[in-house]
Amino acid sequence: MMAVKEPALFVRQSPFQLARQNYLLAALPATDYARLLPYLKQVPLELGRVLYESGSRHGYAYFLTSSIVSLLYITKDGGSAETAVVGNEGIVGIAHLLGGETTPNHAMVRSAGYGYRIKGSILKKEFERGGLLQQLLLRYTQALITQMGQTAVCNRHHSIEQQLCRWLLLSFDRLSSNELTMTQELIANMLGVRREGVTEAAGHLQAAGLIRYARGHISLLDRPRMQARVCECYAVVKREYGRLLQQSTAT
């Protein structure tokens, strides 16, 4: 997965810079990318912005660069749980490719940054051409399904501390720094657990010297020890993304 720091303000960037910011775009052959480029628009993605809601029609798909988006299920009584996270390795809006106009989940920005928006109808037309773009998107979809399944296993069988470690590592993998802005309440909503549980788990990680947490800012201090502490779910997801996306670029 590639991590490129975005500028604080919007700037027009060269096609070469644009391609490097998202793994899927960067992996495309020059001819395929050049055909897609006129339809891509860089957009700021603010923290908390909802890209689509459950049951709504999706007009656009988003190739993410420096932002992170959570795919969430929200219950009737307002409870929520994250099923997957998308960053600069992927795309939000795969329903366009699978023949469905809507999905039962929400897509919400949980780390502000930038992405490149494209009309869903145009992306679907390019997808149906076949070639490497189709292979990349299909294998990315398979990796995303793996992440969703592993998240369900993790939430059922592993401790809140292990879930938090997984969640943090997946987040930092998609950022260009070891700093993350996130309140404990929002983390609890993502994991579908009580805030008190997240507070206790974060306290253990901070006491062990793995993170520093203050006023909604989380700093990763010791990645190797964090990876030693996390459950196997993190490695399964990371390995599957690497295997599938590297396989696509090698064909």
Q: Same structural domain for residues 113 and 48? A: yes
On whether both 62 and 102 belong to a single domain, the answer is yes
Q: Does residue 35 sit in the same domain as residue 126?
A: yes
Angstrom distance (rounded) from CA 95 to CA 105: 11
- Tell me the pLDDT of the chain (251 aa) as tens digits: 444 444 343 345 554 465 468 999 999 988 898 899 999 999 999 988 999 988 777 789 999 999 999 999 888 887 788 899 999 999 999 888 877 667 778 899 989 999 999 999 999 999 999 889 999 999 999 999 999 999 999 988 999 999 999 999 999 998 888 888 888 888 887 788 888 988 899 999 999 999 998 888 899 999 999 999 999 999 999 999 988 887 655 55
CA terminus-to-terminus distance, the chain: 18
- Model pTM greater than 0.75? yes
Q: How many domains are contained in the chain?
A: 2
Distance CA 85, CA 90 (A): 9
| Residue 8 pLDDT | 40
Q: Does 146 reside within a domain? A: no
pLDDT at 244: 86
Question: Residues 29, 100: one domain?
Answer: yes
Query: In whole angstroms, how far apart are CA 225 and each of 159, 180, 230, 237?
Result: 17, 18, 9, 18
Which residue range forms the structural domain that includes residue 107? Answer: 15-132
Residue 141 belongs to some domain of the structure:
no
Residue 120 falls within a domain, yes or no? yes
